[in-house]
Amino acid sequence: MTRIADLLAKGRTYSFEFFPPKTDAEQATLVKTLRDLEPLGPSFVSVTYRGGAESRQRTFDLVTGMLRTTTLVPMAHLICVAHSRLELADILVAYRMAGVENLMALGGDPPTGPDDGPGELNHAYELVELARAIGGFSVGVAAQPTCHPLSPDVASDRDHLATKLALADFAISQFFFEASEYVGLVEDLAERGVDKPVLPGIMPVTSLSSVPRMATMGAAVPAWMVDRLQAADGRGGKDAVRDEGVAIATELCDQLLGVGVPGLHFYTLNRSSATREIYSTLGLAAV
């Protein structure tokens, strides 16, 4: 297997993110998506995880299945909440025994299930330290281009990010829509003496109905972007909105490549068409 830190040391990476399916229909969609995207030759792919035994097993099965049956380099997400230190250590050891070398260490959302305890680790950097103690992992952490919703202000948010990124190998950002937000994030980290790679997260907005949801997922859609999507809707309806959303995401990727980002990380929502179109337009790979 290949460590993501080694890939980043060699040059720019292109990566995709998936979530584990819950139903047979979702499984079929994901299998098709993987078949569509694998020929693009992504540097690595990541698999999300929400916590709890069921979600943990789905993530584990998907990551190890990719390792056995595809050419993809998978990275497993793991969160602190609702787990004891021993449980987290057991999960990490199981991944290493299965041959998984790449880990995304996350704090996680507050537990909501009736059987979810608070967990023993409170912050992602503690999970990074635990993964380092187990050994053998290339570890990534999450970054917010604006500010984490639980942080009191941007400065303290950047301080916390600098602390955990100093321990990790790289970061992947939450999705955003303005290249200047990413540039500001990297500059703030540099002022704190941290120059680890930060991969920008890309999320194409392909429908007007998804605009309100973006804010709850991590980043509000700016007014200029809503105007462009609404104008497209007036010209040609839903298909035109989708095409405009892909075009906007492509423009953002082009701007980011222009400022020398270490890679691009695509939030696919287990679909392939938007990512394949962006790849084709930018000439990143044959579709």
Q: What is the CATH number of the domain that holds 140?
A: 3.20.20.220
Task: Please calculate the CA angle 246-251-254 and round it to the nearest 5 degrees.
Answer: 125
On average, the pLDDT of the chain sits at 91
Instruction: Write the DSSP symbol of residue 269.
Output: T
Residue 130 covered by a domain: yes
Residue 195 covered by a domain: yes
Residues in the chain: 287
Asked whether residue 277 carries a pLDDT value surpassing 90, the answer given is yes
Residue 287 covered by a domain: no
CA dihedral 97→102→108→111, nearest 10 degrees, is -20
Averaged pLDDT, 61-83? 91
The most confident of the ranges 51-55, 69-73, 179-183 is 179-183
In total, how many domains does the chain have?
A: 1
pLDDT in tens, 184-238: 999 999 999 999 999 999 999 999 999 999 988 878 999 999 999 999 999 999 9
Residue 278 covered by a domain: yes
Residue 120 covered by a domain: yes
What pTM, to 2 d.p., does this model score? Answer: 0.93
Domain housing 243: 4-282
Q: Residue 115's pLDDT is what?
A: 53
Residue 239 covered by a domain: yes
Averaged pLDDT, 139-148? 91
Listed residue (58, 60, 79) closest to 68, CA to CA: 60
Residue 40, Cβ density class (10 Å: 0-12 exposed, 13-18 middle, ≥19 buried): middle
Kindly list the catalytic residues.
17
CB neighbours of residue 230 within 10 Å = 14
Q: Residue 18's pLDDT is what?
A: 93
Residue 23 covered by a domain: yes
CA-CA distance, 144 to 174, in Å (whole number)? 5
CA-CA distance, 81 to 178, in Å (whole number)? 31
Asked whether residue 276 carries a pLDDT value surpassing 80, the answer given is yes
Residue 65 covered by a domain: yes
Kindly indicate the confidence band of residue 53, based on its pLDDT and cuts at 50, 70 and 90.
confident
